[in-house]
């Protein structure tokens, strides 16, 4: 095919021409306000990108497994470890669930080794498991160095070579410090312990990752994507600095390092985050004098963020974890663990673990996401996001280093304060429902009346040396509203009065049902009324706690003037669904209207006030 002739039929269109068409279509509306996405990551996103936006990106001409590794470390395929973590302390239960997962496609398992004290415990934990065929990851332990020594002895007792064993430990002194407001013992003591672990691993478990930068601790506290990456880089730099000062070779450190990210629901940004992470890791390691490209590579593990998960309408979490897992594998993650959809509600069981595992199996075996290396390459949008995230994360990294480095900024709460700022920005949007959490602050399942909630939240540490970084979820404030209603003796009820214009009353009834439904109130809906007297009779007979008027702006004055005098003293909460003028509000208030709900209403604050009054 003669490409010249083909493309001559499509003359080039300049950016100016595109902009002219867009301005025309906007019909005078504000371009910036309508089409520019103002992200929480520190940069804005335009509605479209073109080839010229990528002209200054030098790494675009590189292939997979070439510096600076934006395109990943894999050349032939995009295969990743399907990892399944265990979420219980019981050793026998872990063994059963691990066997189940391994038989169905997992090749990496995360074990909770908190109760492992001797080789007999390992016999229970690893019964019938072929340790030479899988990767073993230890999530918890009383003492990781002692655990690794015990593991090496156990492998030798089974005639297995520890030097061929692959896996990791979840030992991150900074993540522990951030969660608990103190170090295990002290910063120096913890680093000395890490040095001992690294030395032992080098000699006995050379294929084990024993330095973990657990970036999930930032994301599950409400950080932005760029903060998660920027602060993770600070952790990388701190470990490299401290361990090289203790005499370790750079290659020995990097070979045994991994970064664990929490993947959220911002699909394309999450893809760009991992691509940026490889670029920036390579940049840092080069500054330490990396002598070969292998030293510039880091093992990236991804798990689902807990920050955006919900306990109500929990099956929606399956949709969230699916897209998050897609982001991780498309971006070239080395290992992925999908958390069970109901993990925030209770301990995972066989059903939820099976669904979690099947999500990865489907993406690999049926969607073939393991076949194509870096499918995002060349996308104007994703390449631009990669550059913007890398740039912003690098600025966060530099600012933190200028303030004394990672450890100092943990101790003086600089990192905690920065993440708190990011959390508060999102929390405001969640409260106003500009940020939608399906099933929680929007579109609730009104038939969900109770929950068998068995999961206990970790108790805060009272003995802290600095501010801990709270691990939380966006949905919790709204979930508390609904749980308070579920646990109360009386469930507030709402009568929706549909009157007048069919389209407007239906739309506002839907909005109002949604508004009060997120708190678990009972909604008394109806098809509408043709007469005021009929409406009054139905309202009085229903005897609900709240009356919501659902009509059009033009019809509200007549409706309020006619119906409220007939309800005077008979119902305390009368709400108008809409936002009348200040003049009309003054009149409506005098007649007995007590509240107004609309898209600008802070739903969280409003519903808290209703709960305080109605649940007494």
Q: How confident is the model at residue 5 (pLDDT cuts 50, 70, 90)?
A: low
pLDDT of residue 492: 96
Q: How confident is the model at residue 199 (pLDDT cuts 50, 70, 90)?
A: very high
**pLDDT tens digits along 348-383:** 899 999 999 999 999 999 999 999 999 999 999 999
**pLDDT tens digits along 499-548:** 999 999 999 999 999 999 999 999 998 889 999 999 999 999 999 999 99
Q: How confident is the model at residue 347 (pLDDT cuts 50, 70, 90)?
A: confident
SS3 assignment, position 411: helix
pLDDT of residue 186: 95
User: Which CA distances in Å does 329 have to 271, 322, 367, 372, 559?
Assistant: 8, 11, 11, 10, 56
Structure tokens at 380: 């104007």
Closest CA to 411 of 463, 459, 468: 468
Q: What is the mean pLDDT of residues 170-174?
A: 97
Closest CA to 607 of 540, 470, 495, 515: 515
DSSP bridge pairs for 581: none
Q: What is the mean pLDDT of residues 243-261?
A: 97
Q: How confident is the model at residue 458 (pLDDT cuts 50, 70, 90)?
A: low
Residue 405 has pLDDT above 90, yes or no: yes
Q: Between 77 and 450, where is the model more confident? A: 77
Q: What is the mean pLDDT of residues 264-288?
A: 97
- What architecture does CATH give domain 488-614? 3-Layer(aba) Sandwich (3.40)
SS3 content of the chain, % helix, strand, coil (to 5): 50, 10, 40
Q: How confident is the model at residue 7 (pLDDT cuts 50, 70, 90)?
A: low
Residue 243 has pLDDT above 70, yes or no: yes
Distance CA 538, CA 536 (A): 5
Residue 175 has pLDDT above 70, yes or no: yes
pLDDT of residue 462: 66
CATH for the stretch 58-80+170-410: 3.20.20.240
Distance CA 482, CA 521 (A): 8
pLDDT of residue 58: 85
Structure tokens at 185: 């013992």
- By the 8 A CB rule, do 158 and 164 touch? no
Q: Between 52 and 450, where is the model more confident? A: 52
Q: What is the mean pLDDT of residues 563-570?
A: 92
Q: How confident is the model at residue 12 (pLDDT cuts 50, 70, 90)?
A: confident
User: Which CA distances in Å does 227 have to 215, 302, 337, 400, 475?
Assistant: 9, 16, 22, 11, 21
Q: What is the mean pLDDT of residues 307-333?
A: 97
Residues 6+ apart with CB under 8 A from 64: 71, 72, 73, 74, 75, 373, 374
**pLDDT tens digits along 205-226:** 999 999 999 999 999 999 999 9
Residues 6+ apart with CB under 8 A from 519: 478, 481, 482, 485, 492, 607, 610, 611
| Rounded percentage of the chain residues whose pLDDT exceeds 70 | 97
Average pLDDT, the chain: 94
pLDDT of residue 169: 98
Residue ranges, comma separated, of all CATH 3.40.50.280 domains in the chain are 488-614
Q: How confident is the model at residue 385 (pLDDT cuts 50, 70, 90)?
A: very high
Q: How confident is the model at residue 455 (pLDDT cuts 50, 70, 90)?
A: low
Distance CA 307, CA 262 (A): 9
DSSP string, 121-160: HHHHHTTT--TTSSEEEEEE-S-HHHHHHHHHHHHHHTT-
Distance CA 295, CA 33 (A): 45
pLDDT of residue 489: 87
12-21, 319-328, 455-464 — most confident range: 319-328
User: Which CA distances in Å does 335 have to 84, 91, 100, 159, 569?
Assistant: 10, 24, 19, 27, 64
Looking at residue 442, the DSSP 8-state letter turns out to be B
Q: Has this prediction a pTM greater than 0.75?
A: yes
Residue ranges, comma separated, of all CATH 3.20.20.240 domains in the chain are 58-80+170-410
| Rounded percentage of the chain residues whose pLDDT exceeds 90 | 90
Which residue blocks in 70-215 are alpha helix, DSSP H? 91-103, 119-125, 144-157, 173-180, 187-204
pLDDT of residue 527: 86
Phi and psi of 178, rounded to 5°?
Answer: -65, -40
pLDDT of residue 246: 97
Q: Residue 501's Cα: distance from chain center in Å? A: 41
Distance CA 132, CA 552 (A): 70
Q: Residue 440's Cα: distance from chain center in Å? A: 15
Q: How confident is the model at residue 8 (pLDDT cuts 50, 70, 90)?
A: confident
Rg (CA), the chain: 28
Distance CA 132, CA 604 (A): 53
- Lowest pLDDT segment from 45-59, 66-80, 251-265, 270-284: 45-59
- By the 8 A CB rule, do 372 and 363 touch? no
Closest CA to 169 of 140, 142, 130, 143: 140
pLDDT of residue 200: 98
Residue 461 has pLDDT above 70, yes or no: no
Peptide bond into 68 cis (omega under 30): yes
Measured from the Cβ of residue 583, the count of other Cβ atoms closer than 10 Å reads 8
pLDDT of residue 453: 55
- By the 8 A CB rule, do 175 and 217 touch? yes
DSSP string, 502-523: HHHHHHHHHHHHHHHHTTT-EE
Residue 452 has pLDDT above 60, yes or no: no
Distance CA 139, CA 171 (A): 8
């Amino acid at each position: 095919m003669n490409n010249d002739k083909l493309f001559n039929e499509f003359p080039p269109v300049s950016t100016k021409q595109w902009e002219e068409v867009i301005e025309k279509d906007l019909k005078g509306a504000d371009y910036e306000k309508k089409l520019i996405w103002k992200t929480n990551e520190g940069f804005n996103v335009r509605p479209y990108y073109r080839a010229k936006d990528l002209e200054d990106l030098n790494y675009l001409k590189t292939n997979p497994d070439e510096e600076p590794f934006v395109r990943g470390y894999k050349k032939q395929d995009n295969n990743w470890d399907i990892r399944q973590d265990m979420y219980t302390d019981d050793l026998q239960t872990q063994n059963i669930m691990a066997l189940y997962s391994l038989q169905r496609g997992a090749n990496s398992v995360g074990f909770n080794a908190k109760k492992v004290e001797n080789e007999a415990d390992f016999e229970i934990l690893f019964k019938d498991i072929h340790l030479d065929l899988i990767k073993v990851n230890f999530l918890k332990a009383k003492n990781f160095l002692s655990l690794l020594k015990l593991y090496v002895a156990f492998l030798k007792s089974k005639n297995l070579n520890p030097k061929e064993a692959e896996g990791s430990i979840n030992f991150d002194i900074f993540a522990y410090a951030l969660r608990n407001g103190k170090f295990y013992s002290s910063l120096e003591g913890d680093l000395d312990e890490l040095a001992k672990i690294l030395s032992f691993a080098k000699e006995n478990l050379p294929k084990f990752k024993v330095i973990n930068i657990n970036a999930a601790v930032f994301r599950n506290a409400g950080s932005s994507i760029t903060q998660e990456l920027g602060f993770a880089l600070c952790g990388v730099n701190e470990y490299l600095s401290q361990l090289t000062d203790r005499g370790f070779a750079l290659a020995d450190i990097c070979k045994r390092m991994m970064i664990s990210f929490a993947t959220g629901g911002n699909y394309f940004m999450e893809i760009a985050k991992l691509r940026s992470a490889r670029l920036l890791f390579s940049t840092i390691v080069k500054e330490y004098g990396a002598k070969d490209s292998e030293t510039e590579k880091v093992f990236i593990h991804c798990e689902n963020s807990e920050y955006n998960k919900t306990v109500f309408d929990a099956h929606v979490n399956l949709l969230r974890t699916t897209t998050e897992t897609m982001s991780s594998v498309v971006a070239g993650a080395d290992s992925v663990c999908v958390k069970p959809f109901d993990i925030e509600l209770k301990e995972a069981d066989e059903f939820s673990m099976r669904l979690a595992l099947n999500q990865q199996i489907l993406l690999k075996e049926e969607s073939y996401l393991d076949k194509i290396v870096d499918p995002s390459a060349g996308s104007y949008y994703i390449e631009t996001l990669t550059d913007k995230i890398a740039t912003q994360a690098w600025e966060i990294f530099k600012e933190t280093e200028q303030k004394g480095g990672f450890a100092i900024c943990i101790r003086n709460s600089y990192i905690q304060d920065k993440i708190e700022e990011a959390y508060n920005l999102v929390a405001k949007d969640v409260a106003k429902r500009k940020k939608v959490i399906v099933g929680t602050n929007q579109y609730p399942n009104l038939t969900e009346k109770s929950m068998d909630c068995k999961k206990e939240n970790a108790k805060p540490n009272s003995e802290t040396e600095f501010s801990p970084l709270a691990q939380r979820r966006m949905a919790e404030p709204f979930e508390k509203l609904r749980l308070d209603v579920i646990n109360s003796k009386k469930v507030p009820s709402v009568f929706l009065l549909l009157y007048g214009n069919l389209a407007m009353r239906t739309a506002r009834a839907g909005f109002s049902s949604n508004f009060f439904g997120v708190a678990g109130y009972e909604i008394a809906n109806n098809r509408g009324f043709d007469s005021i007297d009929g409406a009054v009779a139905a309202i009085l007979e229903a005897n609900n706690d709240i009356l919501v008027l659902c009509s059009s702006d033009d019809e509200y004055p007549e409706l309020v003037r006619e119906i409220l005098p007939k309800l005077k003293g008979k119902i305390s909460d009368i709400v108008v669904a809409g936002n009348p003028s200040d003049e009309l509000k003054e009149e409506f208030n005098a007649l007995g209207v007590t509240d107004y709900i609309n898209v600008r209403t802070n739903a969280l604050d409003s519903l808290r006030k209703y709960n305080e009054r109605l649940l007494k």
